Amino acid sequence: MDYVGHVIRPPSEAYSMIIQVTVGCSHNMCTFCGAYKDLKPKYWVKDWETVKKDIDEASSYKYGFTKAFLADGDVLILPTEDILRIMNYIKQKNPAIETINVYGNAKAILRKTPEELTALKAAGLTVIYQGIESGNKEVLRRIRKGAFPDVMRECAAKVIDSGIKLSQTVLLGIGGKEMSHEHARDTGKLLGEMSPDFASALTVMILPNTPLYKEYQEGKFVLPDKFGLLQELQIIVKNMNVRRKCYFTSNHASNYLPIKANLPEQQSAVLKMIDQVISNKDESILKPEHMRAL
């Protein structure tokens, strides 16, 4: 397979056929993200022959794939006809694959017309994964996310209207100690307004190859402590008044406290549980530092 660099995929795509279609991320500006910072050039799109060869090779494995994931960072930014060609070829070579998923940032979603999203859905695009990180405008500006809450709301509505499932991630700690409360409150509110099908809270990890690391070293960015991060989780869930069912998780390897909850049904139970952990200051049930990972 023509894999270049670290091919990153969501945890739920662990058993998917991974076809790397682009290398890197067309935005590549987020201050906390080290995924593609060392790439040279920063971003490129693979030609059809290379992608086709990889699909042929992956299709020859006797693995029995039922899902595929198109990597890297934001394949949705490609012209719709190019994505359709790749999806159709994957399905032609692998009739058992019905589900094909991608990452999509706000810019990519905004560029698609409702008709294009409907065509992608009809071709098998099932989930768009989108990192929104925060619902607070100032935090989004500081981390150079490239999109603000108004745009994110618009994107979410577009994806949900098309019938494609929306899976969004937010980052505990990304507002630093200074913006901790505002970050958590506005993130919970925005998630509630958008009401994605799936939402996950990850915890920011400060990576040496990022601008955030520099801020951290200079003392300009201070990460909340473990219980401060749990308070953020609590505030997010408290403010996350979803309009439709949402499966919320915080069981990523970077987190201290794993949670899986169907919202809105389990909102009160989750809040009670987090409250108990914070009140007891019981570190023994938190994930040990050495077991946390990206």
Residues near ligand SF4, by CB under 6 A:
25, 27-30, 33, 35, 73, 105, 131
Name the region of 292 (left: φ>0; alpha: ψ -120 to 50; beta: rest).
beta
CB of 284 to ligand SF4, least distance (A): 33
CB of 280 to ligand SF4, least distance (A): 34
Element (H, E) at 60: helix 48-60
- C-alpha dist (Å) from residue 201 to 63, 84, 204: 31, 31, 10
Comparison of 32 and 277: residue with beta carbon closer to ligand SF4: 32
Comparison of 146 and 264: residue with beta carbon closer to ligand SF4: 146
Dihedral angle computed from the Cα positions of residues 157, 159, 160 and 162, in that order, rounded to the nearest 10 degrees:
120
CB of 109 to ligand SF4, least distance (A): 12
- C-alpha dist (Å) from residue 278 to 139, 204, 227, 236, 283: 25, 19, 6, 15, 9
CA–CA dist 54, 25 (Å, integer): 20
CB of 218 to ligand SF4, least distance (A): 21
Which string of b and e fits 44-80 if b means at least 16 CB within 10 Å? ebbeeeebbebbeebbeeeeebebbbbbbbbbbbbeb
Residue 128 — φ and ψ, nearest 5°? -105, 125
Comparison of 27 and 252: residue with beta carbon closer to ligand SF4: 27
Comparison of 29 and 160: residue with beta carbon closer to ligand SF4: 29
Comparison of 103 and 256: residue with beta carbon closer to ligand SF4: 103
CB of 43 to ligand SF4, least distance (A): 9
Comparison of 10 and 73: residue with beta carbon closer to ligand SF4: 73
CB of 273 to ligand SF4, least distance (A): 29
